[in-house]
Amino acid sequence: MNTSEMTAKIAAGKGFIAALDQSGGSTPKALKGYGIEEGAWASEEEMFGLIHRMRSRIITAPVFTGEKVLGAILFERTMDGTVDDKGAGGKPVPRALIDKGIIPFIKIDKGLEDEANGVQLMKPIPGLDTLLERSRALGVFGTKERSVINSANREGIAAVVDQQFEVGRQVLRHGMMPIIEPEVNIKSETRADCDRILLAEILRNLDALPAGETVMLKLSLPVEPGLFDPLVDHPKVLRVVALSGGYKRPEACVELSKNRGIIASFSRALLEDLRAQMSDAEFDASLGGAIDEIYRGSTQKTGAAAGA
């Protein structure tokens, strides 16, 4: 797939984007969910080796294909790694994905600042231009960068969205597609107000983008189904994807199905039933079931969402 083919598939393809980008402090939690307890590794390198083997098992699984999985978001170490494709030796991860019809993205943020004004901005991203150049050379299509909104503070939310679009413009200059992710904490007591302020701030920044430039958005599912329809329909938005945000997969898929035009980009909700101790047959069956359920939530809409 070339860039124009990837763009067309993301824009109109049926399916969802898998988030395989746990990093740093979130890796032990991801490994524990996979059935590997903390203490099973003696160093950070061993820890990342274990998570890479988990991701490799997913990427090479016969059920993990471009038929239902449009794209996959990678951690930088995963992007730089290889997978053993049916005994063919090490193949670079982005190439292995592309060969399966899956479009690679990379997580570029370096974590979150401490909370201020009800939000957590991204930490600085040193060496971003170099990372973008290297990622693009490996065939990576786009990026993902995450901030968090905890309360309905208009000043804080505006700062989050402005920072996200500033980074997004840097990504665009490298000919890559940014996934802008200002996550609303689903446990926030002011979540519905956060959603509305966020919508207004995103629209303001979209209107300021030069003609012909587009971005993707990764958002928490809104309290009010359909609230983000203006973003789904916006000419400067290639696709809106949703994070699971702590919902278990069944609930996340139900909420997703209420929102037309929005597809999943789930991490925990995709991986929650997978275990290192499973046989290959058990692993593939469990992963296939999760893929099917998330695919349905992304493509089969209910109520008003289905008729829109």
Q: Where are the domains of the chain?
A: 3-307
Indicate the burial class of 230 (C-beta count within 10 angstroms; 0-12, 13-18, 19 or more).
Answer: middle
Lowest mean pLDDT among 45-49, 161-165, 302-306: 302-306
Mean predicted confidence (pLDDT) in 223-252 = 95
Q: Indicate if the alpha-carbon torsion angle 254, 255, 260, 262 is positive or negative.
A: negative
What tens digit of pLDDT does each residue of 127-137 get?
999 999 999 99
For the stretch 154-212, pLDDT in tens is 999 999 999 999 999 999 999 999 999 999 999 999 999 999 999 999 999 999 999 99
pLDDT for 88: 47
Could you report the per-residue pLDDT of 272-295, keeping only the tens digit for each? 999 999 999 999 999 999 999 999
Q: CATH fold of 3-307, please?
A: TIM Barrel (3.20.20)
Tell me whether strands 119-120 and 177-184 are parallel, antiparallel or unpaired.
unpaired
In terms of DSSP bridges, do strands 90-92 and 82-84 run parallel, antiparallel, or are they unpaired?
Answer: antiparallel
The reply to whether 5 belongs to the active site is no
Element (H, E) at 192: helix 191-208
Scored b (16 or more CB within 10 A) or e, 103-113 reads bbbbbbbbeee
Q: For the chain, what is the mean pLDDT?
A: 94
Q: Can 218 be counted among the known catalytic residues?
A: yes
Catalytic residue among 91, 107, 145, 181: 181
To which H or E segment does residue 234 belong?
none
What pLDDT does residue 177 have?
Answer: 98
Catalytic residue among 218, 255, 258, 293: 218
Report whether 21 contacts 267 (CB < 8 A).
Answer: yes
Q: What is the mean pLDDT of residues 121-127?
A: 97
Q: Which of 267, 266, 284 is nearest to 275 (CA)?
A: 284
- What pLDDT is attached to residue 276? 94
Please name which of 108, 31, 101, 15 lies closest in space to residue 59, comparing C-alpha atoms.
101
